[in-house]
Structure 1
Amino acid sequence: MTTAVKSNQTVLSVDDIAVQSVISGKDRKILLDHPVDNDEAVILALGYKQEFKREFSLWTIFGVAFSVLGLLPSIASTLFYSLAYAGNAGITWGFALGMLGVIPVALNMAEISSAFPTSGGLYYATAMLSPPKYKALLSWIVGWSNYFYQVTGAPSVAYGCASMILALASVANPNYAYQTWHCYLLSVAITTVCAIISSLPTKWIAYINACSSILNILFLFISWIFMLAGNDREEQGLPKFNSNSFAWGIDNLTDWPDGMAILLSFMAVLWTMCGFDSPFHITEECSNAQTATPKAIVMTATIGGALGFVFQIALAYTIVDIDGAVKDDLGQPYIAYLSQIMTKPRVLAIGSFAAILAFSMTFSCMIAASRVLFSYSRDNCFPLSRYWCKVNKYTRTPVNAVWANWFIGILLLLLMFGGVAVDAIFSVGSIAPFISFTIPTLLRITYARNTFKPGPWNLGKFTYVSGFIGCSFILLMIPISNFPQYKGSDNTADLMNWTCVVYYGSMLLVIAWYFVYAHKIYKGPRSNLAGETIIDGREADSVVEEIVERKDYKEE
């Protein structure tokens, strides 16, 4: 395909590129005034201009994804959904079971990313794989569901980062009095600095994320070593490690049966692992995108899942009091856990690792979210789309989209003044992405099973097995994500699971908006190539002949 493109630097035949797109199958040709490589040929065939510099490689795009995954801060921030539901079982074999459902989802997303290597890949793929009558509606649902996850990602991580910093402040100074507005202002400050970083040129962002990926691995390893070798359990008259039965046993802290408690703990797995989609959203900035992007997705899911499992085993074998960590006055289970097994100086040092990584995770989330807003806005999916789809001429990054997401984020953070309602942005992050991940997969293995054009990285016949497992897992988790920890009279407003209001209520509004008005202006993904750039195949010969004549005239 690359050779064919290079041999014709004037006219690119869309149907010669093995992709399914909004302009393929119509004998369309794209006029070019420069030679193109395979990456640009593919994005042009998908119907979009090459607007970014392709300065990410497989390893740097994996670095972004691994930073978004942010294992240490993610685990620290979601212990409320694992340890607080099923005890140690939620972070050991419960986590492993959850990963068996998550990895098939990642594998099928990787296959789809190879076929549709564009920043708006999830909703673009949905439109291409859907029945024509429903492509606009289904891509609208997938696009907004994914955007809700993206736009809540950075503020939720920033909130977790601020909570850890303030918990460490309480450890350092017992006289410190926590106030909600302290957390809010600190969260806003974190997101502001991260927005500035996310507005930098791609090359700088790639370098910063490469450094943060190294810190992720290094801090995770150091923390793991100190948890195992540097704990002071023996000085407390306890054995160095917990027994196997305690480390792997269920400590049900809910009002539900044990099996239900394990299922509820999967929300922590979903939130921790959802960052594996990040390479998809920056694929237009990656070289050799059709193979590098899917490989980065699979690497993020598998390596991240394995490291997360090993890290949490260390936590299960060293924690002293599960109930005490969950209900500690610090309000941060991870810092409370460290305080159970380490001296104050070590708590401050190891806890700061999680806070630093939460900061780097925040700007990585902002990068992915800005690319989602940018790519969806190219197709008029959002209000004021013409502003969010602009690329800054100096940085060559979607700066407007970065700051639009930042503004929405600081508004969402106001939920912390409503008490437990702020936890809803974590709940959205656990289910919204997987709904958007699963719809194109479901279409791939059903309606589009005979029309899908796989990219160079694909699952072959295994796609149906993987797709069935992944879709079944998410269909199970959709209702589970709405269940509260307690039921009956124990379930007060402060303990309510607000996912049903924040996520499903928001989705209901955008679907209603689609039927009331948006269907008039949104028809699904559309090409942003200028009208004169695309010509009908029948015109190609005359255009080439005219160009040759011009060239001969100039040479004379």
Structure 2
Amino acid sequence: MGSDSKTGSSSGKPSVGGKAAQSAPSIASKSSKGAEASQHAPSTHNMATIADDDDRLLARIGYTPVLQRHFSRWSTVSYAISILGVLGSVPATFGSPVGSGGPATAVWAWMIGSIMAYCIASSVAELVSAYPTAGGMYYVTKHVVPKDRVAPWAWIVGWCNFLGQAGGVASLAYTISQMILATAVMHSAQDSNGVPSFAPTSVQTVLLAILILCLFGTICSFPTLWLHKVILWFAPINILASIAICIALLVLTPEKQSAKWVFTEFTDGSGWGSKGFSFLLGFLSVAWTMTDYDGTTHMSEETHDAAIRGPVAIRAAILVSGVVGWMLTVTFCFCMSDYDGIMATPTGLPVAQIFLNAGGKTGGTVMWFFVILVQFFTGCSAMLANSRMAWAFARDAAFPFSDFWAKVNNVTDTPINSVWLVVIFCSCLNMIGIGSTLTILSIFNITAPALDISYIAVIIAHRWYEGKVQFHPGPYTMGRWSKPVNAVAVTWVCFISVILFFPTARPVTATNMNYAICVAAFIGFFSMIWWYAGARKRYTGPRTTDIIDELPQEDPRDIRRDILGDSNYYEP
């Protein structure tokens, strides 16, 4: 649907774009591999390496390179896949679409939702390819709206993105805590009525979630090279474990449902009186899972050839995750031999009961372990994206005490302060769950709408001000497909955001009300008051040197071609 440029040279090899070395001063490579390669480069002594090229592009965008670039093609793709983490997310959300509209709703809603997610991801990839920074779509705002409107637009997009990601990280830790405690329930003794002797409390769930957040923070504080080596394994484990679990379930489940039941059984489990509306509620699972598309772009300043590899990884992750997620959903539906018993499981997670029915306590626990492991990978990846977004936001003075949060640690060369800012913030969010489970779930429900709105706001601004603001496309562009795909993405987000705010069952009571709209209204009101109370006087948007705008005699598209090399550049 789009066109990708060639991936180009591997990290550490000399760039094929000799013109790059002549058109811009060299920025010393921070990569040991890049430095080693320079010693064996051809006789042209000023020929740049890939690491130099990325840093030069970042400098021309307006930021001084301070992070280490160690993420390669495969670690970037692995990271993009792991941040979606379908093996962890699908089992955690499977009960919602099946309970609302039946198995066919879960199956077809996932397929349609994945296609729509691909449209949003492609739109995001096109924009961040032009300006690959840790700020992601937040930074792109600077180049799609008029200068006098950058500050309010960037403020809204930045806070939506940061809060959406923070809600996602907090919800992942909370979900992992629930999964671990569900395992304890599975292994606890039962009375004559089948009621487990162990029932986790809200305090236990929250405290375990905070411990998990601290583990996320510890891993995300590693040097970038360590993170690269660890994240390389995230996607392979996710995909291989998903395939193995599907095979195991289909073999071990004695009586499976029919294909007709799986693919055509629609119900009105929501109580809204309409199978069609119950089907729409089935999109909640895929909307919660297939989001945070720009998470990969927040690692741009630690990635080799980020303008190309980031967008490619985003789209590859949606394709892989869409297929694997659909495979898991279909398999779970086939293995729901006792539908009523599985939906009424004491663990609160239908998929955990499916595992237990198929493999017994031992086999079910082994399969469930991999689900928890992949969900842990997703949490680490999400926190990494959130911390880099926080760091980018802080260096632009969007936080109180921004100078402290924007510091880069001299030992690890990573923004550790921003990592633990996210840990503290998400821990505070989870602590709300001690007093009110409804409130914490409402906060989690705001994650997908907040992130998706931050994406389409930039897409809409790009199209609205097109022709009035000079936007310089990056090496990845959809060409003539760009506007139609953008239109589909915006329409879908507007539609699904309304659905995400609906109560999932009727009659609506205080216990099943979806309070996400209330949380969204509070956040919007608070940010508006904060803005007019003083933030507008000190916040000016992304604080860059605007080098690219101060070069009227040189087309910035030529700058990018020079930096990336002719073989790496796609001309729309």
Normalised by the length of structure 2, the TM-score is 0.84
| Residues 248, 316 of structure 1: 8 Å contact kept | no
SS of the equivalent of 2:479 reads coil
Asked if the contact 2:442–2:515 (Cα under 8 Å) also holds between the matched residues in 1, the reply is yes
Separation in 2 of the partners of 1:397 and 1:230? 46
One-letter code aligned to 1:448: E
Match of 2:478 among 459, 483, 497: 459
Q: Distance in 2 between matches of 1:365 and 1:411?
A: 17
Once residues 406 and 267 of structure 1 are traced to their aligned partners in structure 2, the CA distance between those partners, rounded to angstroms, is 26
- Counterpart selection for 2:269 from 248, 253, 256: 253
| One of 431, 434, 437 as aligned partner of 1:419 | 437
* Contact persistence 2:81–2:320 (CA under 8 A): no
Report the secondary structure of 1:7's partner residue.
helix
Match of 2:466 in 1: 448
Partner residue of 2:90?
Answer: 75
Work out whether 1:339 is the aligned partner of 2:361. Answer: no
Q: Deviations over 1:147-205 (max 9, x none)?
A: 11111222211111111111111111233232222212211111111211100000101
Aligned to 1:244: 260
The answer as to 2:77 corresponding to 1:55 is no
Distance 1:475 1:528 in 2: 35
Structure 1 residues 421 and 331: CA distance shift in structure 2, 3 A: farther
1:242–1:318 CA contact under 8 A, matched in 2: no
The 3-state SS of whatever aligns with 1:37 is helix
The aligned residue for residue 387 of structure 1 is: 404
Q: Name the aligned partner's letter for residue 387 of structure 1.
A: F
What per-residue deviation string (whole Å, max 9, x for no partner) do you get for residues 409-439 of structure 1?
1111123221232222331222111111111
Distance 1:493 1:2, change over 3 A: farther
- Whether contact under 8 Å (1:79, 1:333) holds in the other structure is yes
Q: Which amino acid in structure 2 is aligned with residue 152 of structure 1?
A: G
Partner of 1:120: 135
| Aligned-residue offset at 1:11 | 8.3
Task: Output aligned runs, 1:56-455, within 5 Å.
Answer: 56-174=71-189, 175-233=197-255, 240-256=256-272, 257-417=274-434, 418-448=436-466, 451-455=470-474
8 Å CA contact 1:101–1:470 kept in 2: the answer is yes
Contact 1:65 1:278 in 2 (8 A): yes
Q: Conserved in 2, the CA contact under 8 Å of 1:154 and 1:409?
A: yes
Q: Conserved in 2, the CA contact under 8 Å of 1:232 and 1:342?
A: no
Instruction: Report the identity percentage.
Output: 27
Letter in 1 for 2:385: A
- Residue number among 466, 477, 491 corresponding to 1:472 in the alignment: 491
Instruction: Render the CA deviation track for 1:221-277: whole Å, top value 9, x for unaligned.
Output: 1111112112233xxxxxx34332344421221122222222222121111111432
Unaligned runs of 5+ in 1: 13-31, 234-239, 539-556
For residues 369-396 of structure 1, give each alpha carbon's deviation from its aligned partner in whole angstroms, at most 9, with x where no partner exists: 1000001111111222111111111111
Partners of 2:508 and 2:467 in 1: CA distance:
44
The answer as to whether partners of 1:267 and 1:427 remain within 8 angstroms in 2 is no
- Matches of 2:169 and 2:530, distance apart in 1: 26
- Residue 323 of structure 1 and its aligned partner are, at CA, apart by 4.5
- Tell me: CA distance 1:372–1:322, structure 2 relative to 1, closer, same or farther (3 Å): farther
**How many Å separate the matches in 2 of 1:537 and 1:364?**
37
Cα contact 2:262–2:330 (8 A) shared by 1:
no
Shifted more, 286-295 versus 218-227: the winner is 218-227
- Deviation (angstroms), 1:8: 5.3
Q: Assess, with a 3 A threshold, how the Cα gap between structure 1 residues 77 and 504 changes in structure 2: closer, same or farther.
A: farther
Name the SS of the counterpart of 1:274 in structure 2: coil
Is the partner of 1:380 in helix, strand or coil? coil
Partner of 2:502: 483
Partner amino acid, structure 1, of 2:136: G
Distance 1:196 1:320 in 2: 42
Please list the CA deviations of residues 303-331 of structure 1 after superposition, one character each: whole Å capped at 9, or x if unmatched: 11111111111111221344443442212
Measured in 1, the distance between the counterparts of 2:267 and 2:368 equals 25
Residue of structure 2 in register with 1:554 after alignment:
none
1:505 partnered with 2:527: no
Whole-angstrom CA distance in 1 between matches of 2:430 and 2:455 = 26
TM-superposed deviation, 1:340: 3.8
Paired residue total: 507
CA distance in 2, matches of 1:39, 1:11: 11
Q: Is the 8 A contact 2:257 2:337 kept in 1?
A: no
Quick one: distance in 1 between partners of 2:440 and 2:451? 18
AA in 2 matched with 1:399: I
Unaligned runs of 5+ in 2: 1-15, 28-45, 190-196, 553-572
Question: Is contact 1:86–1:252 with CA below 8 Å preserved after alignment?
Answer: yes
TM-score by length of 1: 0.86
CA contact (8 A) 2:136 2:389 kept: no
| Shift of residue 528, structure 1, vs aligned partner | 6.5
Q: Deviations over 1:448-484 (max 9, x none)?
A: 2673211111100100010000001011122222110
